[in-house]
Amino acid sequence: MPVLPRRPQLVAAWPLSAACALLAMIGAAPAWAAGNDPQAQAWAASCISCHAPSARPASAIPPLDGLAADWIATRMRTLAGAASEAGVMGQIARGYTDAEIIRIADWFAGQPKADAP
Q: Give the mean pLDDT of 17-34.
A: 46
Write a three-state SS string for 91-116: HHHHCCCHHHHHHHHHHHHCCCCCCC
Determine the pLDDT at residue 101. 95
The pTM is what?
A: 0.65
For 37-76, write each residue's pLDDT tens digit.
Answer: 999 999 998 888 888 776 666 677 888 999 999 999 999 9
pLDDT at res. 96: 94
Instruction: Tell me which architecture the domain covering 35-117 has in CATH.
Output: Orthogonal Bundle (1.10)
DSSP code of 1? -
Considering only CA atoms, which of 67, 59, 56 is closest in space to residue 115? 56
